[in-house]
Amino acid sequence: ILSGVNITDFTANFRAITKNAWKNIKTTENSNSILLEMIILAKVKGYKIIEIPVMFKDRIHGESKINLAKEAPKFILKLIKFSTKYRLLRMKE
Q: What percent of the chain has pLDDT over 90?
A: 2
Taking residues 18-38, report their average pLDDT.
85
The string of pLDDT tens digits covering residues 45-68 is 889 888 888 787 888 888 877 788
pTM as predicted? 0.69
Q: What percent of the chain has pLDDT over 70?
A: 94
* 26, pLDDT greater than 70: yes
Radius of gyration of the chain (CA): 15
CA 22 – CA 34 distance, rounded (Å): 12
Residue 4 in contact with residue 84, Cβ under 8 Å? Answer: no
Query: What average pLDDT does the chain have?
Result: 82
Taking residues 15-39, report their average pLDDT.
85
83 falls in which pLDDT band (50, 70, 90)?
confident
